[in-house]
Amino acid sequence: MRLLIVGTLGGQLAVASRMAMDRGASVVHADSVETALKTLRSGRGADLIMIDVALNIGDLIRRLEQELIHVPVVACGTTTNARAAVEAIRAGAKEYIPLPPDPELIAAVLAAVAEESRDLIVRDDAMARVLRLADQVAASEASILITGESGTGKEVLARHVHRKSNRADKPFIAVNCAAIPEQLLESELFGHEKGAFTGAIARRIGKFEEADGGTLLLDEISEMDLRLQAKLLRAIQERLIDRVGGARPVPVNIRILATSNRTLADEVRKGTFREDLLYRLNVVNLKIPPLRERPADVIALAEHFAEKYAKVNGLKPKAIGAEARRQLMRARWPGNVRELENCMHRAVLVAAGDEIGPDAILTPDGELMGAPERPDLDRTVARAAETAEAVTRALVGRTVADVERDLILSTLDHCFGNRTHAANILGISIRTMRNKLKEYAEEGHAVPPPGQGEARDVA
Dist. CA 404–CA 207, nearest whole Å:
66
Indicate if the pLDDT at residue 2 is higher than 60.
yes
SS3 track for 104-140: HHHHHHHHHHHCCCCCCCCCCHHHHHHHHHHHHHHCC
Helices 322-330 and 295-312, axial angle in degrees (round to 10)? 120
Between residues 380 and 411, which one has the greater pLDDT? Answer: 411
Domain 294-360 class, CATH top level: mainly alpha
Among residues 452, 458, 400, which one has the least CA distance to residue 421? 452
Dist. CA 441–CA 15, nearest whole Å:
100
- Of the listed ranges 106-110, 284-288, 313-317, 361-365, the least confidently predicted one is 106-110
Distance from CA of residue 161 to its chain's centroid?
A: 19
Identify the pLDDT of residue 260.
96
Regarding the domain delimited by 378-442, which CATH topology (the fold level of the hierarchy) does it fall under? Arc Repressor Mutant, subunit A (1.10.10)
Cα torsion 222, 223, 229, 233: sign: negative
Dist. CA 366–CA 216, nearest whole Å:
39
What band does 450 get if pLDDT is binned at 50, 70 and 90? Answer: confident
Task: Please give the sequence-ordered ranges of beta strands (E in DSSP) within 300-433, or none if there are none.
Answer: 319-320, 355-356
Among residues 146, 154, 150, 219, which one has the least CA distance to residue 188? 219
Alpha helices by DSSP H, 67-116: 82-91, 103-114
Calculate the average pLDDT of the chain: 85
Identify the pLDDT of residue 85.
79
- Of the listed ranges 13-22, 162-171, 304-313, 447-456, the least confidently predicted one is 447-456
Among residues 256, 218, 257, which one has the least CA distance to residue 237? 256
Indicate if the pLDDT at residue 135 is higher than 70.
yes
| DSSP symbol at 178 | T
Cα–Cα–Cα angle for 119, 125, 127, rounded to 5 degrees? 40
Indicate if the pLDDT at residue 158 is higher than 70.
yes
Q: How many C-beta neighbours within 10 Å does residue 46 have?
A: 25
Distance from CA of residue 31 to its chain's centroid?
A: 37
pLDDT in tens, 181-192: 887 899 889 988
Indicate if the pLDDT at residue 143 is higher than 90.
yes
- Of the listed ranges 8-22, 156-170, 234-248, 308-322, the least confidently predicted one is 8-22
Helices 336-350 and 322-330, axial angle in degrees (round to 10)? 150
The amino acid present at 28, given as its one-letter code, is: V
The half-sphere exposure of 67 on its side-chain side, counting CA atoms within 13 A, is 25
Give the H or E element holding residue 307. helix 295-312
Indicate if the pLDDT at residue 313 is higher than 70.
yes
Identify the pLDDT of residue 458.
43
Domain 125-287 class, CATH top level: alpha beta
Dist. CA 131–CA 432, nearest whole Å:
64
Dist. CA 224–CA 177, nearest whole Å:
6
Identify the pLDDT of residue 374.
46
214 CB contacts (<8 Å, ≥6 apart)? Answer: 162, 167, 170, 171, 172, 173, 254, 255
- The region, left, alpha or beta by phi > 0 then psi within -120 to 50, assigned to residue 123 is alpha
Residues of the chain with CATH 1.10.8.60: 294-360
CB 66 within 8 A of CB 199: yes
CB 53 within 8 A of CB 77: yes
Identify the pLDDT of residue 11.
66
Identify the pLDDT of residue 373.
46
Phi, psi of 52 (to 5 degrees): -65, 135
Cα–Cα–Cα angle for 168, 173, 179, rounded to 5 degrees? 150
CB 171 within 8 A of CB 215: yes
Instruction: Indicate the CATH number of 2-114 among 3.40.50.2300, 1.20.120.450, 3.40.640.10, 3.90.1200.10.
Output: 3.40.50.2300
**How many angstroms separate the most distant Cα atoms in the chain?**
107
Among residues 376, 306, 309, 369, which one has the least CA distance to residue 335? 369
Q: How many C-beta neighbours within 10 Å does residue 396 have?
A: 6
Dist. CA 426–CA 40, nearest whole Å:
71
Mean pLDDT of 147-166: 94
Identify the pLDDT of residue 415.
83
What band does 20 get if pLDDT is binned at 50, 70 and 90? Answer: confident
CB 158 within 8 A of CB 259: yes
| DSSP symbol at 50 | E
Indicate if the pLDDT at residue 435 is higher than 70.
yes
Collapse the DSSP code of 30 into the 3-class scheme (helix H, G, I; strand E, B; otherwise coil) and give the result: strand
pLDDT in tens, 173-213: 999 999 888 878 998 899 888 877 777 778 888 899 999 99
Residues of the chain with CATH 3.40.50.2300: 2-114
Phi, psi of 285 (to 5 degrees): -110, 120
Indicate if the pLDDT at residue 459 is higher than 50.
no
Percent of the chain past pLDDT 90, that is, above it, reads 42
What band does 42 get if pLDDT is binned at 50, 70 and 90? Answer: confident
Beta-strand pair 240-241/250-251: antiparallel
